[in-house]
Amino acid sequence: MPELTDNLRLKKPLLTEAADITVINENMDRIDEEVAQTQTDLLEHEEAALAHGAVSAATPNKIILRDSAGRAQVTAPYLDGDIVNKAYADGKIGGNDYKRSPGYAITTGSSAVYQVTLTPTPTAYVDGMRITIVPHAESGAGPKLNVNGLGEKFLKNKEDELLQAGDLKVNMPYEFLYRNGNFILLGEGGEKVTLVRGSKSGNNTESFSISGLAEYFDGVPQYIFINQTSGEESYIAANVYTVINSAGNSQYFCGYSAISNNSYYVLRPTVTYLNGTLTITTSLTSSYQGFKGSYTYLLFQYK
């Protein structure tokens, strides 16, 4: 009586028995059947949607299975070698406090109170929060910003001064940082521009004076431009005259001669500033030279 193998139960003739071809063939067929069944089982296992109970959710002690969109979830990392999930990465890179990554929005509302909506939604104003806004309207005096309905906050410059009417232009980006209850304008380079415009009339005079500037300038403006708008005679087409150059030094002043209707140059006018009055004095060499007709002026400086 032949012995049987433990697993496939194949017949093993005894050493004293003659080999039987029928037995050998039965063993071969049994091996072939078992191999075929093993292959089928492996294929079904590979194609199984939930092999070994695998899931796409962050579940302890389960094999990770990607869902129909190719995603799988994990919990927040603890050790250095752990997988990082999106919530953890957002918290480190950006998140909804907008301290690491600035928000961006085109404003709505009014020129007095700009309204913006950020996504993801911030839950509170925090020091260090940054946002770039593109105003839909030129700013009014002392404008405010309201982010996602968290409350209106003043917009200020680096000198802790309220922004003024016209400081923020339409469709121009401005970045602000939230600190101590206000939004502070960044990217100004530490400079503030003071600008004064106006007009004067003269008639063969050697001095051009502008008063009432004490509230705007501490001294002589860095740049002074005068533009002739009308006169008693024909005036030159290139009629923008620089009195103070970019280095703050007086330079050639361009006037005109009523006789030849040509440009006339007065060497280095004297510029003085006293008690809020700016005076530009030229050298008259004839009655046809000097300030004549109507002029507009533009004065500004950086500080």
Considering 126, 151, 185, which residue would you say is the last residue of a domain? 185
Considering 167, 185, 203, which residue would you say is the last residue of a domain? 185
Q: Do 119 and 215 fall within a single domain?
A: no
Q: Do 151 and 232 fall within a single domain?
A: no
Q: Is 94 left (phi over 0), alpha (psi -120 to 50) or beta?
A: alpha
Better-predicted residue by pLDDT, 271 or 188: 271
Q: Do 239 and 206 fall within a single domain?
A: yes
Instruction: Read off the DSSP letter of residue 18.
Output: P
pLDDT band at 246 (very low <50, low <70, confident <90, very high): very low
Q: State how far Cα 9 lies from the chain centre.
A: 76
Considering 159, 185, 211, which residue would you say is the last residue of a domain? 185
Q: Do 211 and 125 fall within a single domain?
A: no
Answer whether residue 54 is part of any domain. Answer: no
Answer whether residue 12 is part of any domain. Answer: no
Q: Do 200 and 170 fall within a single domain?
A: no
Q: Do 226 and 277 fall within a single domain?
A: yes
pLDDT of 154: 97
Do strands 291-302 and 223-230 pair parallel, antiparallel, or not at all (unpaired)?
antiparallel
Q: Do 208 and 289 fall within a single domain?
A: yes
Number of structural domains the chain divides into? 2
pLDDT of 284: 55
- Interior CA angle at 68 toward 63 and 72, to 5°? 40
Query: In the predicted model, what is the mean pLDDT of residues 247-265?
Result: 39
Answer whether residue 9 is part of any domain. Answer: no
- Whether 25 has a pLDDT exceeding 50, the answer reads yes
pLDDT band at 247 (very low <50, low <70, confident <90, very high): very low
Domain that holds residue 200: 193-302
What is this structure's pTM? 0.42
Q: Do 246 and 282 fall within a single domain?
A: yes
